[in-house]
Amino acid sequence: MNHSSNYKRNQTQAENEKLEQLVMQYGKACHVAFDEMLSNGDTALIKDHWIPLMKSLGRSDTNELENKHHEARRVMRESGVTYNVYNDPQGRNRALQLDPVPMLMTQNDWSDIEAGLVQRAELLNLIFKDIYAEQTILKEGLLPPEIIFAHQGYHRNCVGLYANQRHPIVNYTADMARGPDGKMWVFSDRVQAPSGAGYALETRIAMSRIMTQEFKENQVRRLSHYFRLMRSALTNLGMHNQKDPHIVLLTPGPLNETYFEHAYLSSYLGYTLVQGADLTVRDGKVWMKSLGGLQQVDVILRRVDDSFCDPLELMEDSQLGVPGLLQAVRERNVIVVNPLGSGIVESPGMYPFLNNIAKARLGEELKLASAASWWCGHKKEREYVLENLDKLVIKAIDRRFTTIFGGSLSSTEIQDLRDKINAQPYLYIGQERLICSSAPSLVGSEILPRRILFRSFLVAAEGSYQAMPGGLTRISPDNDSFLITNQTGGVSKDTWIISEHPEHQRSLLPDVNMVVRSLHGENLLPSRSAENLFWVGRYAERVEDVVRLLRTALRKISDFTDYGDDVDQKCLVKILKAVTALTGTFPGFMTEEETTLFERPEKELLDVAFDVDRTGSLINTLKSLYYGAFNLRDLWSSDTWRIIDDIGELISSIENRRPTLISLHNDIDKIIDAFMAFAGVTQESMSHESGRFMFDLGKRLERGLQLVKLLRSLLTEYDSEHEELLNIEALMASQESLITYRRQFRLTGSAVAAINLLVLDQNHPRSVAYQLLKLQNHFDHFPQPTTQWFSNKLTDEQKKLLELCTFIQMSEPDKLAMVDEHSGQRIGLIELLNKVEKGLFQVSDDITHRYFSHTDYGRQLAPQRYIDSVKVAEK
């Protein structure tokens, strides 16, 4: 017993010594007035709620701390958590960087911040309603009219739309920083399309895996209740139209910087992810074009900025919005969250006036004030800003330009800025540059201080606003950085609100309405998503066929090099021509001129494989598949996305090195492995509904077309028996059918046997007949057109497939294998292949016309106004 007590006492003493050493080293590196962990500026004293976490980290050696960094990168990459950094040399989608050390707050500290956030959200909601109604705030002089009417986000055609709604602003987000006095200040409001809640949730999920023990030891408040409140709030908004409202999340598309979050939230909340082209307005209502026809939309959770939402009444050249959307809102047939026109209350120009408006409208001062700001529309404030340009942060009242740090400008740039402010003073504000507080972060294998910004999220629910208990903290990449954003290399960290008592996990099981709608989910697949699934299936099959044929060609080159047989040379020529036919990279090996191309085919093969700019090349097709799959981020399972992400990494590695035949051999094996995994996981994890069948429809249609090209290249001409046997062997190898062919036709291998296996056999997964039967079966699972007179009437594509299947079934292999004496060709086989090819192209066109056609955009006949320098991406 004494030994045990001594051990525990010694262990505690060792932990305390490590903690003291860690805090001392941290304090020496801390150079800001306020640090989140240190107490009252004392570099040797740690706040109580940080002690358990720091003790845990202190028990870890250097290698263990570095492993936490590696684990954070691995988890975020495997989860597909990306952020699009514009003009990023590392690629279009960068994995979100995660600091494994969380930001900690006590419940008491958070309660004060939460009360200020709720008050601020209520105030902005009142201002928004007033601006688009009576405008008493302007009439009473509480807010200068220039801030409203000169703002590009003020839309006169929204006046009168929201007066009867209690909380038209449903989602509110605030960016905050703690100043040298320890007080939290708001320096940015996000209202029109606030982002980050999805990243906060995914960051929390990742941290629960990386810091499992630490998460259990601290009484961390959970985030799930916030998302349940959001889902309930949006459902209640749509109840004015239907008991079971149809809610969609409107995204600008996969090029947007936060597209991952759009896809993630749509899946998590159970909403359909749509783009502007998926929606249309008819009879004053918004409809989604789906495989099952037009589906009415009741609520739109948008991630598209105001000006881009309706090209008829707002920004006339927008490709992201829905023509007529504002009219549908005007007729109360759809709710848009947040409402159109809400970008006006994001204006930094309001900051100097918010406290007076709060006293006038709420009867109290702001609990959570904005950073000190001066609007240049007033002479006295303008003079102060002009005298202190080098000390202030300069912002526009809207998004005409990005934030300017005066201290980073040259004397010439300062003078140029001064002239612009004097020319249009009402467009500018000066804001105090806050020296943000710091918090512990894992930098390499050390715990060091880094400046932090905190983003919090609120939703209008239960009669007021409810805040997410925590949020997303971002840290500067180094202590010299003042601008902390993902675009400038900021790193994210989870925010833990430490409660005094354990918090029970709240269920996120959907309510009855959600279950009912999910039962009909297959009819809610947008046509755009169906089209992408169709083409991802086609590209996947195209890649697989190309790499297998390239592997066959490389093996045949090796055979000819080893044996130098003329028959091998003739077979190689046919295979190389098949490569050109299959990829469509003409003229390629189809050239009729006498060249040395067939004697030294390596360069052309490398171009077909690795030339990014060559349409039909392997790398070009791989990229098309990847981008198509990225458009479907919300539909893939986590394991499927991990494979897609691996394909993206493979594309990057191919593009960043010099291609060689050796690397081609290695890449072919990697691609085949990846696509076998992709085929397997999609087969087993995708629900067997319209989307799954549309994906396989693309695969089967493409496999049929590719088979036609290969059969035409390798089997329709007869030269000699020996050469034909080599051609058949190459054909079977490229279709993964060589073992089956040898097993079934060990003694009777011939063109008849090959045609029977790859053309007529309905049970062989690589045959033409099998593809046609699969295509036929898939159409039974698609919603039938509602305009048909009879329920059993066949569509055009079903008729064509029935015709092709019948034609195949009536064909005889020996007749198809007959060689014409004069031409040396198999005329019957050629006619069959031509008929199948033409029929499959027709089926493809019919599918596009029936399921993928989108309503054309409406356009203004004359632009109402021009908006310049408006950034599509949300911040």
For 23-58, the pLDDT digits (tens) are: 888 988 888 889 999 987 566 689 999 999 999 998
Cα diameter, the chain = 104
Sorted by sequence, the CB contacts under 8 Å of residue 782 that are 6+ apart come out as: 291, 690, 693, 694, 851
Measured in degrees and rounded to the nearest 5, phi and psi for residue 763 equal: -105, -5
Rounded CA gap, 714 and 516, in Å?
A: 53
Q: Please report which confidence band the pLDDT of residue 109 belongs to, taking 50, 70 and 90 as the band edges.
A: very high
Q: Is the pLDDT of residue 867 over 50?
A: no
Cβ–Cβ under 8 Å, residues 30 and 43:
yes
CA dihedral 316, 322, 328, 332 (to 10 degrees): -120
Mention every residue, 6+ apart, whose C-beta is less than 8 A from residue 841.
705
| pLDDT at 874 (0 to 100) | 38
What is the rounded average pLDDT of the residues 463-491? Answer: 77
Q: pLDDT at position 484, please?
A: 61
For residue 137, give the H/E element and its range.
helix 136-139
Cα–Cα distance for residue pair 89/259, rounded to 1 Å: 19
CB 746 within 8 A of CB 853: no
Query: H/E element holding 44?
Result: strand 42-46
Judge if the upstream peptide bond of residue 792 is cis by omega within 30 degrees of 0. no
CA distance 395 to 375: 10
- The predicted pLDDT at position 700 comes to 97
- 474 sits in which H/E element: strand 472-475
Phi, psi dihedrals of residue 729, rounded to the nearest 5°: -65, -40
Residues recorded for the chain: 875
Give whole-number Cα distances, 808 to 134, 644, 712, 763, 772, in Å.
74, 36, 16, 13, 9
Band (367; pLDDT cuts 50, 70, 90):
very high
**For residue 841, what is the enclosing H or E element?**
helix 827-847
Phi-psi region of 869 (alpha: psi -120 to 50; beta: other; left: phi over 0): left
Average pLDDT of the segment spanning 246-267? 93
Average pLDDT over the chain, rounded to an integer = 88
Report which of residues 61 and 382 the model is more confident about.
Answer: 382
Residue 331's φ and ψ, nearest 5 degrees, are -90, 5
Amino acid at site 870:
V
Determine the pLDDT at residue 863: 47
| CA distance linking residue 297 with residue 246, whole number of Å | 5
Partners of 431 in beta bridges: 373, 393
pLDDT on residue 862: 47
In eight-state DSSP terms, residue 35 is B
Distance separating alpha carbons of residues 314 and 170, to the nearest angstrom: 22
Mean pLDDT, range 315-326, rounded to an integer: 94
pLDDT of residue 522: 46
Ranges 280-289, 526-535, 748-757: which has the least confidence: 748-757
Q: Which amino acid is at 580?
A: T
Alpha helices in 600-660 (DSSP H): 602-610, 618-630, 638-655
SS3 699: helix
How far is C-alpha 648 from the geometric centre of its chain's CA atoms?
14
Identify which of 506, 442, 499, 511 has the alpha carbon closest to the alpha carbon of residue 475: 442
Percent of the chain at pLDDT above 90? 65
pLDDT at 759 over 80: yes
The answer on pLDDT for 544 being more than 50 is: yes
Contact 106, 278 (CB under 8 A): no
Q: What is the DSSP letter of 378?
A: S
Peptide bond connecting 323 to the previous residue in cis, omega within 30 degrees of 0: no
Measured distance CA(725)–CA(738) in Å, rounded: 12
State mean pLDDT over 78-88: 68
* 580-608 mean pLDDT: 88
> Alpha-carbon distance 104 to 489, whole Å?
22
Q: Does the pLDDT at position 861 exceed 80? A: no
CB 619 within 8 A of CB 605: no
Question: Would you say residue 856 has pLDDT above 80?
Answer: no
* Residue 406 in this model has a pLDDT that exceeds 60: yes
Cross-strand pairs, 171: 459
User: What whole-number distance in Å separates Cα of residue 494 and Cα of residue 199?
Assistant: 9
Alpha-carbon span 480 to 502, nearest angstrom: 39
HSE at residue 473, side-chain half, CA atoms within 13 A, is: 28
pLDDT, residue 513, reads 47
Structure confidence at residue 10 (pLDDT): 59
Give the residue among 384, 491, 392 at the shortest CA–CA distance from 434. Answer: 392
